[in-house]
Amino acid sequence: MNPTKTASDIIHSSGGSGNIISVTHCMTRLRFVIDNNELVNQDEIKKIPGVLGVVNATGQLQIILGKDLIPVYVEVEKMFNGHADTQPAETVPLAPRQKKKVTALGILNTVIGFVASSVTPAVPGFIAGGMTLVVLLIITLISPEFKNSSTYSLLYFVSHSAFYFMPVFIAYGAAMKLGSTPIYSMIASSALIHPGFIKIAAAGGDVSFMGLPVLLDTYASSFLPALLIALVAARLEYYLNKVIPGIFKAVFVGTFTIIIAGGLGFLILGPLGAYIGKYIINFLMFLQNTFGALSVALLAGMMPFIIMAGIHHLFSPIIIQSLASTGSDSLFKPALIVHNMAEGGACFGVALRTKNKKLRAEALSSGIGCILAGVTEPAIYGINLRLKRPMYGVMAGGAAGGLVAGLLGAKAFVMGFSNLLSIPIFQQTLFAIVAGICTAIVVSSLVTYILGFEDIQ
């Protein structure tokens, strides 16, 4: 595969760089925000060497590249920023886009798309921060006195910053999605976690803005206030650019945007986002208290379809907020890691059953990637979904592993990646998640082997 040619072909089949609003990536997917979806040729993209699949969901065109992501992304970013291919793939004039009928489902999809697009750019940082905490945890287990060193403290600051400053990172992603100037949303959001405001909030008392009372709350590690602030800042910037004369735009558009968005952040947007966030966490706790281990089993069993829809990154800010609010996450992270193990187990079942040497090698490689690296797309699209019946093994293994992990009380206490190397994040519930992992691998392997599949000749 030639990364430069693959990147060029992807951009061309996506309607040209002029049809691409923004470019980001997660662990395995290239993610575009597209201006006009009618110019995108998904069938053509699927045929490009290196592309494992295409998903158009949550307001993004997601191109699954697996291990080839980074070299292709580097080339795509060069071409996109340099506008090497600005002509759309389809030059025939299109009929005006018809207004879509407003429905409850359409509104829900729009909201999910906005949140997913806002979170995606920050996810690699969340994982890096969590894994740094894992490394520190392992070192302190080996050498307990290390925790008292200044090196430990400084590295903890580095890792914790990934979560503490989440409002700023989310504001950046939201502004990019909205096509506004990111720094305005970032400034207005960061005001909520300014050391001065935190000091005032800790001291208590009455605080007002323009004579109106301000709720004194802690907004660190929150994400909804930043989303709301970014929405308001984008609309303000658009409106101010229309009403402020050209000669004054450079000075007053940004000034008034951060003053108004920041003020509303303290008065309305921050408190509203915090209340909604707390209700989300309370609802999740209600589900777990009501359904117990079954909730982990159901989520793990459904996870392949959630990943294929490209909305699994929505879990990241909820996990972080749950960790900040309750100190642990006993739903999403256990389900995610157990599902990844089930994907790997199904691949091992394929490797044991197939008589095709090439397929066996691919299945083993993909299975090891799921378990050790937590990268599942090659397994999903290259092995399990392609052969169809192994997906039953994945679902059975995920559900069984999730049930065991849930019954034994598996809880993640730190944000981290969902692979075998990340199990220290479960700390005192390590046995519970190891039991869930072993169950997922064994059950998915056995079910896949027993059910069989149409072997590739």
Kindly tell me if the per-residue pLDDT of 311 is higher than 90.
no
Residue 91's pLDDT band, with cuts at 50, 70 and 90, is: very low
Kindly tell me if the per-residue pLDDT of 344 is higher than 90.
yes
Residue 105's pLDDT band, with cuts at 50, 70 and 90, is: low
pLDDT tens figures, 258-282: 999 999 999 999 999 888 888 888 8
Lowest-confidence range among 156-160, 171-175, 205-209?
205-209
pLDDT tens figures, 37-73: 888 898 899 889 888 888 876 667 888 887 788 888 8
Kindly tell me if the per-residue pLDDT of 100 is higher than 80.
no
Lowest-confidence range among 29-43, 103-117, 331-345, 384-398?
103-117
Comparing 446 with 129, which gets the higher pLDDT?
446
Q: Residue by residue, what is the 3-state secondary structure of 288-308?
A: HHHHCHHHHHHHHHHHHHHHH
Gap between the Cα atoms of 31 and 10, Å rounded = 11
Residue 86's pLDDT band, with cuts at 50, 70 and 90, is: very low
Token duo for residue 377: 């797309």
pLDDT tens figures, 400-418: 999 999 999 999 998 877 8
Provide, rounded to the nearest whole percent, the portion of the chain with pLDDT above 70: 92
Segment 92-102 shows an average pLDDT of: 49
CATH assignment of 1-85, among 3.30.1360.40, 2.60.130.10, 3.30.1360.60, 3.40.640.10: 3.30.1360.60
> Which pLDDT score is estimated for 429?
95
Segment 109-122 shows an average pLDDT of: 78
Token duo for residue 68: 């080839």
Whether residue 116 contacts residue 314, with contact meaning beta carbons closer than 8 Å, is answered with yes
Residue 222's pLDDT band, with cuts at 50, 70 and 90, is: confident
Residue 95's pLDDT band, with cuts at 50, 70 and 90, is: very low
Residue 348's pLDDT band, with cuts at 50, 70 and 90, is: very high
> Which pLDDT score is estimated for 28?
77
Q: For the chain, what is the mean pLDDT?
A: 86
Gap between the Cα atoms of 427 and 434, Å rounded = 11
pLDDT tens figures, 227-237: 999 999 999 99
Residue 101's pLDDT band, with cuts at 50, 70 and 90, is: low
Kindly tell me if the per-residue pLDDT of 312 is higher than 70.
yes
> Which pLDDT score is estimated for 99?
54
Whether residue 48 contacts residue 13, with contact meaning beta carbons closer than 8 Å, is answered with yes
Lowest-confidence range among 79-83, 252-256, 272-276?
79-83
Kindly tell me if the per-residue pLDDT of 33 is higher than 60.
yes
> Which pLDDT score is estimated for 58?
61
- In the chain, domain spans: 1-85, 165-289, 293-451
Kindly tell me if the per-residue pLDDT of 85 is higher than 60.
no
Kindly tell me if the per-residue pLDDT of 90 is higher than 50.
no
Q: Residue by residue, what is the 3-state secondary structure of the chain?
A: CCHHHHHHHHHHHCCCHHHEEEEEECCCEEEEEECCHHHCCHHHHHCCCCCCEEEEECCEEEEECHHHHHHHHHHHHHHHHHCCCCCCCCCCCCCCCCCCCCCHHHHHHHHHHHHHHHHHHHHHHHHHHHHHHHHHHHHHHHCHHHHHCHHHHHHHHHHHHHHHCHHHHHHHHHHHHHCCCHHHHHHHHHHHHCHHHHHHHHHCCCCEECCEECCCCCCCCCCHHHHHHHHHHHHHHHHHHHHCCHHHHHHHHHHHHHHHHHHHHHHHHHHHHHHHHHHHHHHHHHHHHHHCHHHHHHHHHHHHHHHHCCCHHHHHHHHHHHHHHHCCECCHHHHHHHHHHHHHHHHHHHHHHCCCHHHHHHHHHHHHHHHHHCCCHHHHHHHHHHHCCHHHHHHHHHHHHHHHHHHHCCCECCCCCCCHHHHHHHHHHHHHHHHHHHHHHHHHHHHHHHHCCCCCC
Comparing 450 with 99, which gets the higher pLDDT?
450
Residue 300's pLDDT band, with cuts at 50, 70 and 90, is: very high
pLDDT tens figures, 419-437: 888 898 898 999 999 999 9
List the one residue out of 381, 412, 319, 336 whose CA is nearest residue 119: 319
